[in-house]
Amino acid sequence: MIKTVTDLRRVLKNRPSKNVKHGCGGGLHLKHHVNGSAYYFGRMTINIEGQSKRQEVHVGTECKEFSLPQAREQWSRIQSWSKTNNREPKDYLSEHSSKKVVIPHTFGTVVEGFVSSKKEGKDAIKTWHNYDRIFKQTIFPLLPPDTPLDCLKETHGGRARVNQVLEEISKGNRHELARRSRQLIKQAIEFATKKGWFNNNENSARPLSIEKTRRKTKHHPCLDWNAIPQFLEDVTLNSCGTSTHTLLASKFLLLTALRTGALARLEWDMIDDKKDLIIISGKTSGIKRTEDNEHIPHKIPITPLMWQIIEKCKKLSRGERYLFLSNGLGKKVHADPEAPNRYFKNLGYKNKQTAHGWRRVFLTYGIDLLKEREVIIRRQMGHLPTGSVLKAYDGSELLEERYNFLVNWGNHLVKNGLEV
């Protein structure tokens, strides 16, 4: 049974070994051919001149003529016409064959089409779920899916309507959610424009240009140095029931200040044991490169303390791809980037210390306590040179200086209570 666009994508992902029919609800069906093509057809029973007839009617071809929501609207139209006029549903198609059936688009049909267009790519499933959740839980309650698409044109008050929605979403300090909602609405409308569903009218109304919501700077909480020894002691002595992989990943984070996205995706192939380096592709999630500099990898000099953690991971490994695994031994999926944050929270440091906040500790106290140059620490944090001062260091990766700093940093953490 195909109930949603997600169900449809799952069905169409692979070619069937034989022609298959799937119900779509309300008498609408999808026939999926062995050649990969698919079309919608409807089945309904009609009573004409005292005789009951069951008819099958072609509705349209998937993707080329109709999306799933459009096919449902078309089938509903055919059924209604047949019952009202007491005529066979196939007569509807013959009478309208010379006319282009114009199906009014709504915000909901546009969103379904937009989300279904994101079915390609390695992170497709995650993208579908995230988009679906934000639209259904956040946007649709304020901007209903049955909103006519024309209502989003600037000449019809679209800008004011959407900005009102975004202002409502941003209440309660939810500025990041409002920003993402603005981005998704804008992308959905751009999708509709490319499809020709959202054309400029006679007044040359442009596609909606949504004003950006103001975003307040949010600093991740971090501890003052006088509270760090107790924090390090807690990390050393209390596992709080978390997995060994999460404990090791959290300690590796404390030594390197690596972003959690990149930390979770560390692979064995990234380790160059001859050069004592971890080399992470600039395209890896969490490295934060732009298109212009994503070809530049992030390198981490491996200190003796880091090697201790790597060796412990090696003893746990059974040929998996990643150093830190999800839910412990035997899983082929990398660790959850949020695992260190949950661990710190369970230790009692909710709203006091986060994984990203540790980067601030790394920078601030690396400068104040270890008297290291800021440029060295920032390069180790993955920041590329910017500005006239930092650009003077463009010619060098400063690996020796970064190694010395990481050794001193690790020793300072051990001196203050950390055990790896």
The pLDDT of residue 348:
94
The pLDDT of residue 199:
59
Distance CA 60, CA 63 (A): 9
The pLDDT of residue 390:
43
Sequential DSSP letters for 336-350: PTTHHHHHHIIIIIT
pLDDT in tens, 97-112: 544 444 456 788 888 8
Q: Which two tokens stand for residue 321?
A: 């791809």
Fold assignment, 225-415: hpI Integrase; Chain A (1.10.443)
The pLDDT of residue 206:
44
CA 287 to chain centre: 16
Do β-strands 28-32 and 38-48 pair in parallel, antiparallel, or remain unpaired?
A: antiparallel
The pLDDT of residue 54:
80
The model carries a pTM of: 0.52
Residues of the chain with pLDDT under 70: 34-36, 61-66, 93-105, 118-128, 154-156, 198-218, 291, 327-332, 386-396
The pLDDT of residue 191:
80
Sequential DSSP letters for 258-327: --HHHHHT-BGGGEETTTTEEEE-TTSTTS---TTTTTSPEEEEPPHHHHHHHHHHHHH-SS-SBSSBTT
The pLDDT of residue 368:
92
Name every residue whose Cβ is closer than 8 Å to that of residue 317 and which is 6 or more positions away in sequence.
268, 323
Spell out the CATH class of 5-96: alpha beta
The pLDDT of residue 173:
75
**Mean pLDDT score of the chain, rounded to an integer?**
81
Q: Which two tokens stand for residue 393?
A: 């260091």
